[in-house]
Amino acid sequence: MIKMDTIYLGTNWKMHKTLAEAKAYTQELLDYVVRFPQFRFFVIPPYTDLWGIREMVKHKEILIGAQNMHYLDEGAHTGEISPRMLSEIGVDIIEIGHSERRQFYGETDFFINEKTRTALQYGFTPLVCIGEPMIEKEFDTSLAYLDRQIRIAMHGVTNEQAKKVWIAYEPVWAIGENGIPAEPEYVGVVHAHIRKTLGELFGKETAAMIPILFGGSVNEMNTLPYLEQEDVNGLFIGRAAWDAKSFLRIMKLIDGWKREQK
């Protein structure tokens, strides 16, 4: 399979950055991204930063995402945000099923499926996050575990809709301060398997169009080894991209590597 040309590069801020911090970061990022037109950039800030950032980013130089979304239009759901609200802001991406949402807020695959389908109905790009806990890796059941996550998340999604979905593979054990960075070869095997599963669901042609991003302790050291894997179309970065200059170093690395390949 020919590797997708576009490289997807984005960051989930989790519960970090006030509006003032978010604006300062975004200004820096806007200055950087124009140098790399071949990358598709996105940021996923906390809800309170979304309006402010939307006003700064006028032309989709950077896509903007929300970290979560309820699947209902409105209702008695204290603390939740609805698709109508996010649509009004003009959000591009909805991150769905990050492992912290699954682990700490009880999100099930079935709930994630409702959200994915709603996001698609609203015209958002669902960024569906999947990832196995360490125990699955130890028992050599990761692929089966991920298969189930994908099949449930994508249940009822049409072929046409599937072309709008992005997938992020983030092993639970690789994420955050205590994360163990995954071996690039392991990531390569998993991504190929995800592509295969998507192919079984939607056909090979559609599966080839779905970006599969890798995330979990991505940093300057492992950026290229991950991107060298055939089915890795981009990186979903946490800590290493929360400082715009550190994010810039990653962009430069990838840019240099791409130039060498030409």
Structure tokens at 54: 């939307």
Choose the binding region for ligand PGA from 17-25, 50-58, 112-120, 231-239 (rule: CB under 6 A).
231-239
Task: Pick the catalytic residue from 70, 95, 98, 136.
Answer: 98
Task: Pick the catalytic residue from 100, 107, 136, 170.
Answer: 170
Q: Segment 31-70, which members bind ligand PGA (CB under 6 A)?
A: none
| Helix locations, the chain, DSSP H | 19-33, 47-56, 83-89, 99-104, 109-121, 134-138, 142-153, 159-162, 184-202, 204-209, 223-227, 244-261
Judge whether 98 counts as a catalytic residue.
Answer: yes
Nearest 5°: CA angle at 108, between 103 and 109? Answer: 120
Interface residue with ligand PGA, options 45, 83, 234, 238 (CB under 6 A): 238
Cα Rg of the chain (Å, integer) = 17
CA 170, CA 87: separation in Å to the nearest integer?
A: 27
Backbone angles phi, psi at 176, to 5 degrees: 85, -175
Amino acid in the structure at residue 241: A
Least Cβ distance, residue 28 to ligand PGA (angstroms): 19
Q: Segment 163-222, which members bind ligand PGA (CB under 6 A)?
A: 170, 175-176, 179, 215-218
Under rule CB under 6 A, residue 237 binds ligand PGA: yes
Under rule CB under 6 A, residue 132 binds ligand PGA: no
Least Cβ distance, residue 219 to ligand PGA (angstroms): 8
Judge whether 70 counts as a catalytic residue.
Answer: no
Least Cβ distance, residue 218 to ligand PGA (angstroms): 5
CA 87, CA 40: separation in Å to the nearest integer?
A: 21
Tell me the residue number closest to ligand PGA, measured at CB: 238
Q: Which residues bind ligand PGA (CB under 6 A)?
A: 12, 170, 175-176, 179, 215-218, 236-240
